[in-house]
């Protein structure tokens, strides 16, 4: 019945997308056969008033009708232009995570259930909601710290949101499995794996203790950084469903007029934002991955305060080094080195030719060197680079896609503050300093030290590895002699699982088909 329910929810979502004109706004003229017929049919069922809206507005209206889980789905897919295309990714990135508030009494109940204490014991004053998103809403409150009342922001999970999300996730998984099964060309994009990533991201975002931990980690990383910080966390008043943090007094970065009235230097703020982001990415390997202007405040002294750290990105030491070498290679026009880095990182399969890949990269880099520095976009460079790597079968790299998406957003914010913003000049102190410290002799010494530690660890594990190798060798000899065998219980379980999967897929397809037929009959 779970598959049947997921099928109905999927059919409803498809119908809403049709009625709001989202399907009709796609470039269907380029299609052929059955997909083009479906696109033309969708145009017939589109609401007349929807045709007057832009595609991004149609998408926003459809998502509002579908509910909060589809807002998160849209925002997640905005980070995956490799899946939905660049144009659609830009439209999805414009989705505003703003929802209706829920009653204060429900927020109080959620806090007391999560923390096991009365709200009156936790807060000297607990106010009405001041902002609401798809997963949670924020209340202004006062807490007693060291005998004094301190203003705090209290983020509370939306009631019933987990159940709704997990129900809709069933529909997403059904769509992903059907796509992989019936559209072979889409398997390269790994739709099931993409959905699993969404599910994991959502689970993390709906546990506010993990967001508190991310704020704490970023706060420690940036405690000595000039002009950037995150709110401090009140751990005593934080649980799975509630996060209490420092109240931020400042002007939102999307309020340009307000920033100017407060006397802030917009060019300095733009430079500080980019340098802070690159510092977090290259130095720490941990960055705020949702830095849209609504999540950024500027305090009276010009310090940037980033809030809402539900989505964070990580880059390992190896990925940071490759990113820096790629950027440096473009700056110095060493395209062969950029290509070699991709192969060394394992981003491009070995069967491809390094020189041919370097030629493709040159096609990106040369036009850039003919432009004024202030017009060159690092985010656009990364976008073009990922487009080229698709031609060379580069597998999806979620950590790089998230970095690319955040880079696009952050650079866009900087250019809003300063239209003549010079990305390369601003980034040079951070990128150049990191390269000097991590790709020179000092880096070789650090690598040698890490290698020695790895060898020592391996030597300590040698007896255990030898015993495992001996056991594995004996098991392989037995398999070679007698063949691979399943016991009767395992064989029956495999058969039942296969039959259940096939049956649920067929049921879901029939449910979707009958639902669409019924809708068409009611309209006609």
Torsion region of 227: left, alpha or beta (phi above 0 gives left; psi -120 to 50 gives alpha)? left
- HSE-up of residue 63 (Cα within 13 Å, Cβ side): 25
pLDDT tens, per residue, the chain with 524 residues: 466 777 888 888 888 888 888 888 777 666 677 777 777 888 888 887 777 777 777 877 787 788 777 777 777 676 666 566 666 666 666 665 567 889 999 999 999 999 999 999 999 999 999 988 888 999 999 998 888 889 999 999 999 888 888 888 888 888 888 877 877 766 766 778 778 877 887 888 889 999 999 999 999 999 999 899 999 999 999 999 999 999 999 999 989 999 999 999 999 999 999 999 999 998 999 999 888 888 899 999 999 999 988 888 888 888 888 777 877 777 778 888 888 888 887 778 888 888 988 888 888 878 776 666 566 666 667 667 766 766 777 666 666 667 777 887 888 888 889 988 887 778 878 877 887 777 655 555 555 555 566 566 666 676 776 777 777 777 676 666 666 555 566 656 656 655 555 555 555 555 555 655 555 555 55
Contacts for 4 with CB less than 8 Å, ≥ 6 apart: 507, 508, 511
DSSP code for 233: B
3-class SS of residue 142 = strand
Both tokens of 442, joined, read 């000092």
How far from 262 is each of 250, 342, 417, CA to CA, in Å? 10, 46, 14
How far from 191 is each of 75, 77, 160, 175, CA to CA, in Å? 16, 11, 27, 9
Contacts for 108 with CB less than 8 Å, ≥ 6 apart: 119, 126
How far from 474 is each of 357, 390, 463, 467, CA to CA, in Å? 45, 43, 17, 11
| 82, 97, 290, 308: the active-site residue | 290
Report the relative pairing of strands 312-314 and 286-288 from DSSP bridges. antiparallel
Q: Which of 456, 458, 475 is nearest to 466 (CA)?
A: 458
Domain boundaries, the chain: 4-97+163-203, 249-439
For residue 502, what is the enclosing H or E element?
A: helix 488-523
Distance CA 407, CA 382 (A): 9
**pTM for the model:** 0.73
Predicted local distance difference test score (pLDDT) of residue 266: 95
Residue with tokens 């999927």: 10
334 is catalytic: no
Torsion region of 521: left, alpha or beta (phi above 0 gives left; psi -120 to 50 gives alpha)? alpha
Both tokens of 9, joined, read 């929810």
For residue 200, what is the enclosing H or E element?
A: helix 191-205
Report the relative pairing of strands 304-306 and 228-229 from DSSP bridges. parallel
Distance CA 424, CA 406 (A): 17
Torsion of CA 306, 214, 165, 3, to 10 degrees: 140
Predicted local distance difference test score (pLDDT) of residue 1: 42
First to last CA, the chain: 30
Distance CA 429, CA 431 (A): 6
* Sequence-ordered alpha helix ranges (H) in 374-487: 378-391, 398-417, 423-438, 441-460, 462-482
3-class SS of residue 390 = helix
- HSE-up of residue 505 (Cα within 13 Å, Cβ side): 15
Contacts for 60 with CB less than 8 Å, ≥ 6 apart: 94, 95, 96
């Amino acid at each position: 019945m779970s598959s049947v329910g997921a099928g109905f929810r999927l059919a409803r979502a498809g119908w809403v997308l049709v009625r709001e004109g989202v399907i009709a706004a796609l470039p269907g003229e380029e299609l052929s056969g059955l997909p083009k017929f479906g696109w033309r049919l969708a145009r017939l069922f589109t609401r007349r008033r929807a045709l007057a809206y832009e595609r991004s507005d149609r998408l926003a209206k459809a998502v509002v009708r579908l509910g909060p889980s589809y807002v998160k789905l849209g925002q997640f897919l905005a980070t995956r232009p490799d899946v939905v295309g660049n144009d659609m990714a830009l439209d999805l990135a414009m989705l505003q995570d703003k929802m209706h508030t829920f009653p204060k009494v429900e927020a109080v109940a959620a806090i007391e259930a999560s923390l096991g204490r009365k709200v009156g014991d936790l807060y000297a004053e607990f106010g009405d909601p001041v902002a609401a998103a798809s997963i949670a809403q924020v209340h202004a409150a006062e807490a007693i710290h060291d005998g004094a009342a301190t203003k705090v922001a209290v983020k509370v999970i939306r009631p019933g949101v987990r159940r709704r999300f997990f129900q809709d996730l069933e529909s997403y998984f059904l769509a992903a499995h059907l796509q992989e099964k019936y559209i072979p060309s889409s398997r390269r994009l790994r739709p099931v794996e993409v959905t699993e990533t969404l599910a994991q991201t959502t689970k993390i975002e709906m546990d506010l203790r993990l967001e508190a931990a991310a704020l704490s980690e970023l706060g420690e990383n940036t405690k000595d950084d000039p002009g950037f910080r995150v709110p401090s966390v009140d751990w005593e008043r934080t649980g799975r469903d509630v996060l209490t943090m420092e109240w931020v007094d400042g002007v939102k970065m999307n309020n340009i007029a307000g920033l100017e009235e407060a006397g802030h230097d917009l060019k300095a703020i733009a430079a500080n934002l980019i340098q802070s982001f690159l510092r977090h990415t290259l130095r720490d390997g941990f960055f705020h991955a949702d830095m849209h202007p609504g999540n950024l405040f500027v305090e009276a002294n010009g310090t940037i305060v980033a809030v809402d750290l539900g989505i964070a990105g990580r880059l390992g030491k190896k990925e940071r080094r490759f990113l820096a070498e790629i950027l440096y290679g473009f700056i110095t026009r060493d395209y062969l080195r950029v290509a070699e880095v991709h192969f060394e990182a394992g981003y491009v399969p070995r069967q491809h030719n390094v020189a041919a890949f370097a030629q493709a990269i040159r096609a990106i880099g040369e036009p850039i060197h003919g432009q004024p520095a202030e017009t060159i976009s690092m985010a656009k460079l990364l976008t073009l680079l990922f487009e080229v790597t698709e031609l060379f079968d580069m597998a999806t790299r979620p950590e790089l896609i998230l970095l690319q998406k955040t880079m696009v957003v952050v650079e866009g914010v900087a250019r809003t503050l300063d239209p003549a913003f010079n990305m390369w000049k601003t980034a040079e102190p951070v990128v150049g300093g990191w390269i000097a410290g991590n790709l020179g002799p000092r880096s070789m010494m650090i690598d040698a030290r890490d290698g020695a530690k790895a060898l020592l660890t391996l030597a300590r594990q040698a007896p255990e590895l030898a015993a495992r190798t001996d056991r594995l060798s004996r098991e392989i000899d037995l398999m070679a002699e007698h063949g691979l065998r399943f016991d009767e219980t395992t064989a029956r379980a495999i058969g039942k699982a296969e039959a259940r999967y096939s049956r649920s897929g067929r049921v879901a397809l029939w449910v979707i088909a009958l639902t669409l037929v019924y809708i068409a009959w009611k309209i006609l």
